[in-house]
Amino acid sequence: MKASLGIFFLGILISCTAWCQSTEGILGLKDYYKDYFPIGVAVNNRTLSGDESRLLLREFNSITPENAMKMDALHPREDVYFWRDADSMVNFAQNHHLKIRGHNLCWHEQVPDWMFKDETGNLVTKEVLLKRLKDHITTVVSRYQGKIYAWDVLNEVIGDADDEFIRNSLWYQICGEEYIAKAFEYAHAADPQALLFYNDYNSERPVKRDKIYRLLKKLIAKHVPIHGIGLQAHWSVFEPSEKELREAIELYSSLGLQIHFTELDMSIYPWEKNKRPKKVGESEVLTPDLEQKQIDQYGKIFSIFREYKKNITSVTFWNVSDRYTWLDYYPVPGRKNYPLLFDQQLQRKKAYQAVINFR
């Protein structure tokens, strides 16, 4: 009797150890960062099935539709909304208890032509454009009210040239600066609980950072409903520096805004904006040197993120793995890039270890 009891308890002990080990084996980024912030990823239709969706569910607890909620995708004609893809992403997230960041409500790219034109092809008036913007934002935000907890309301409003404050887009040409505050007001009226973000890239580079700061400060002074700043974080192994990143986090936080890193990836090439063809002989190899730089840079930025966990309330990667990344096409079509934490076989890269190696 004693012997069989002993064997019984030994059996339980062995099963427990095996269970613990296998649980350890399936911890993902979201688990390692559970005391810090949600870890998200941008998704497209492919990400929601097969091996990519298994990886997604193991590693991440938040999603952002990569393209499905942009204006041209959702609202191709004035009287037509296309909901299928966006709805399936929202359903997927709800079924799996993932958070959803909505992206985005107003941008100068991926916006349908009809938005700015009347039936004769001329530019519409400010009144008409603001009415269209209001209709769009109200319809989209209301549809997902209570499901999408945070929206990128305005994307990339600040100009790239050092002396350009607000980007000279059609939104700006037709409405002046006013459309910025209006977009936030429309979104807030449609879902008063949703957190509203201003989202931009190169937001740690000092000149652009200061212009973004100036805009945010103005919005806050006018009591515009804005809750956070989205730093896109399309970075490279060469930037940002530790100093730039810290200064940006501290400056934006000083406005009382929460910080989301919304589109994180780390190119192995220096940052470029303008599309160009691949140069003859241009290297596309992830050399040991670049790989090491990427490991170090990922390790460094995540250790800074952890330090500022009071201010940072979400970190989202832009795509799942190096199998598919928008950076394979942009800004140099056909040039392979390796910006993420999972390789083309969906295996964890060494940079992944640098990110979780703090416990």
Catalog residues that contact ligand GLA under the rule CB under 6 A.
Answer: 103, 155, 201, 232, 234, 263, 326
Catalytic residue chosen out of the listed positions 52, 59, 204, 263 = 263
Residue 144 or 201 having the CB closest to ligand GLA:
201
Active site residue 272: no
Least CB distance to ligand GLA at residue 322 (A): 15
Smallest distance from the beta carbon of 43 to ligand GLA, in angstroms?
12
HSE-up of residue 347 (Cα within 13 Å, Cβ side): 3
DSSP state letters, 143-208 = HTTTT--EEEEEE--B-SSTT-SB---HHHHHHTTHHHHHHHHHHHHH-TTSEEEEEESSTTSHHH
Nearest to 325 by CA among 234, 237, 199, 238: 234
Between 155 and 258, name the residue whose CB sits nearer to ligand GLA: 155
Cα-trace Rg, the chain: 22
Angstrom distance (rounded) from CA 230 to CA 311: 12
Kindly state the smallest distance separating residue 234's Cβ from ligand GLA, in Å.
6
Task: Show the tokens assigned to 275.
Answer: 């599309």
Q: CB-wise, 203 or 258, nearer to ligand GLA?
A: 203
**Strands, E, within the chain: which ranges?**
39-43, 62-65, 99-106, 150-155, 195-200, 228-231, 234-236, 258-267, 312-317
Q: Is 127 a catalytic residue?
A: no
Whole-Å CA distances, 255 to 203, 270, 288 = 15, 31, 41
Distance CA 42, CA 344 (A): 17
DSSP 142-155: HHTTTT--EEEEEE
Least distance in angstroms from the C-beta of 325 to ligand GLA: 9
Report the distance separating Cα 354 and Cα 359, nearest Å. 11
Q: Which is nearer to ligand GLA, 32 or 204 (CB)?
A: 204
Catalytic residue among 52, 66, 156, 204: 156
Of 92 and 201, the one with the shorter C-beta distance to ligand GLA is: 201
Q: How far is the CB of 79 from ligand GLA (least distance, A)?
A: 25
Question: Is 271 or 326 the residue whose CB approaches ligand GLA more closely?
Answer: 326
Taking the complex as a whole, how short is the minimal distance between the CB of residue 64 and ligand GLA, in angstroms? 8
Residue nearest to ligand GLA (CB): 326
Distance CA 63, CA 175 (A): 32
- DSSP type of residue 136: H
Catalytic residues, by residue number, are 156, 263
